Amino acid sequence: MIGIVIITHGRMSEVLVETASLIMGEQKDLVAVTFSARESLENLRQKAREATSLYRDSGCLILTDVLGGSATNICAELLPHDWIRILTGVNLPMLMEALSQRENLDLLTLARKVHGGGVRGIIDLKDFFEEHARKKK
């Protein structure tokens, strides 16, 4: 099974794991890596490598919070590994998509599907309801 590693500033990764587990049940091969302002980049680098190395054989999807942030920049160093894919802008719909699809897809296809799930999860409710009302007419 493809491993999923979430690496974010603060405790966001832990909260995403807790929330996804609340909705979908406990998940195997799902790791939260946190990073605080007091930690060194070398410490984050070590935590990222340790978390992802568990999935060298099965593949690893890394979800980070923001492009250009420390977590993403450190993870970018792992891009040469063909068993790793990295998506930025992690949100709950992305994580749920990853968890529900990772047993059925290869790593590249999973990354693309999770990306789409994240985008589909962002909705302007006013536009959504107005369009829905127009379709009913």
The residues assigned a catalytic role are: 9
CB 107 within 8 A of CB 59: yes
The DSSP symbol for 29 reads: S
CA dist., res. 54 & res. 51, Å (int): 6
What token pair was written down for 33?
């890596």
CA-based nearest residue to 33, from 14, 20, 16? 14
What token pair was written down for 131?
């369009």
CA dist., res. 41 & res. 110, Å (int): 29
